[in-house]
Amino acid sequence: MGATATVRVMSPEEIAARSGGETPYLLWPERGTHFAEREMRLRQLAANHPMREFLLFAADLASAQQAQLAAYPAVALPDHEALDRAASRLAPPLAAIDFPRDPAWRSELRALLARLPDSLPPAARDTIGRVARAEDSWLETQADCLLAGVTRGLDLAAAPLVAAGLQVYFTHLLLSVQASAIGRGQPFGRIEDETVCPACASKPVASVTRNAGDLLGQRYLGCSLCGLQWHMVRIKCAHCLSTQAITYQSLQRAADEPDTGAAASAVAQAEVCDSCGHYLKIFHSDRDPHVDAAADDLATVTLDLLVSESGARRHGVNLMLLFGEPDSQTDDSADDAAEGHPRAGTEISAAVRPPNPPDPGPR
């Protein structure tokens, strides 16, 4: 289960030549199914998984997120002038770090937490209760830390719960702005920095290759916060945008099957850039039509550990599973949390803490 292999595939030019037609730049989350599909995938992945209890907790959280998104109240939106200014500067109009959050996100977070089942372990229920009873100022501080990607002042046990509320809020915000702009032109588009979300400037959680129609084989990065997906050609580093020295690593089916081609056909791969030393996971929906970037990322922590052993740093982030040192006050620990970089001795955040990630095994 722990061997790796490296493969090289088509160049960006070959992929573009074979794609045909015009590929849409943005794909939108569906209000009625966004978190529900994630829940279904998490429950599927949890079967016989070493992190089963954690994945099931994440599924419960996604279920609550979906219910909350379906009934989310109206929130303050940027006016048309603000959207036009952002477009003229090629800037994300809902930049998460700077955007003034509507206070409704806090009450909606508390309502979301109330939907979580009473059957969760006592430690999880204690954390949920603590977050639900927390003062508004504490929630805002935690949100600031999460969106800035720093661990200083961040409560790692509570982080997935606060993140769940922020994800629903920003998904609702994204879809509300899109709906309000009907007849006025597209409020979202390409921005100056194509390595982050065009709407909220958050990092991707991972990327997914599409499996149908005109999008067959096209790669989209999925936002870790608002759920928007944006197109980026394959064989291109999502961190430095280099198209050189890109390799792919994958867990093989068995440690005694070295270099048998399993990496080339794996559902989950790590796209590693030797130029800048960063990587981002890529999941292939043509090999498994049920992949969900956030869910599959949680279930493949072992791949992160293997790739990080070579010194590569993760470009993306999963707000449900942060790596960091809760007692550290160093800038390095903040960078590691922001880049999702696992290090020896780090604590993995979760209201229900997963067991230690599976041992990668011999290589």
DSSP letters spanning 282-351:
EEETTT-TT--HHHHHHTTHHHHHHHHTTT-EES---TTS-EE-TT---HHHHHHHHHT---TT-EE--S
Summarize the chain as % helix, strand, coil (round to 5): 40, 10, 50
Backbone angles phi, psi at 264, to 5 degrees: -70, -25
Which domains, and CATH codes, for the chain? 4-18+194-320 (3.90.1670.10), 32-180 (3.90.1670.10)
Computed from CA positions of residues 133, 203, 279, 35, in that sequence, does the dihedral angle turn out positive or negative?
positive
Residue 298: what residue type? L
Tell me the C-alpha to C-alpha distance, in Å, between residue 190 and each of 15, 87, 123, 326.
21, 9, 43, 36
| 61/112 Cα distance (integer angstroms) | 8
pLDDT tens-place values along the chain, 363 residues long: 443 444 334 444 334 433 445 789 999 999 999 999 999 999 999 999 999 999 999 999 999 999 999 999 999 999 999 999 999 999 999 999 999 999 999 999 999 999 999 999 999 999 999 999 999 999 999 999 999 998 899 999 999 999 999 999 999 999 999 999 887 888 999 999 999 999 999 999 999 998 776 677 899 999 999 999 999 999 999 999 999 999 999 986 333 344 445 566 899 999 999 999 999 999 999 899 999 999 999 999 999 999 999 899 999 999 999 865 444 444 444 444 445 444 322 333 444 554 455 554 444
